[in-house]
A = this chain, B = another copy of it.
Amino acid sequence: MTPEAILSAMLDNDPFSQWLGVVCTHLAPGTCTLEATVRPEMTNGFGVAHGGISYSLADSALAFASNTHGQHAVSVETTIAHTAPVRAGDRLEAIATEDQRSKQFARYTVRVTANGERLAALFHGTVYRKETLWEGPAR
């Protein structure tokens, strides 16, 4: 399957990503860029987006970037630091890049920026690469 077909298999019928309003603006083997706009119901009692919003966007970018190679990849450990507040109306962009990949494991950094200017979160994720492959009519 092509990276696009794998993304489609992952994103179609994904209610949470629809709630987040996720859009994929770039996809290639080992990398993925997602965007979403923060809405008032994603914010917490301090007028800023809950940390779970940046995490969710980054975690999805990790999943898509790591599965584009055609091998099933599942998350093992993910770390996130929230480096600047995110507010309702902000446009978030999450760019996942591959730091390392071996037969069984791969590691990614996802940088989440707000409004194309400030770093909102820095995310690192490790995935386990199964032996099974994404398969389907488009392969």
Residues of B within 8 A of A55 (CB): 51-52, 55-56, 59, 78
The answer to whether the Cβ of A99 comes within 8 Å of any Cβ in the partner chain is yes
Query: Does A80 touch B at the CB level, under 8 Å?
Result: yes
B10 pairs with A45, CB closer than 8 A:
yes
B79 touching A79 by the CB < 8 A rule? yes
Query: How often does this chain occur in the complex, in copies?
Result: 4
Interface centre among A42, A45, A46 (most CB of B within 10 A): A45
A132 at the interface (CB under 8 A from B): no
Interface string of A1-44 (1 = CB under 8 A from B): 00000000111111111010000000000000000000011111
A123–chain B nearest beta-carbon distance, Å: 10
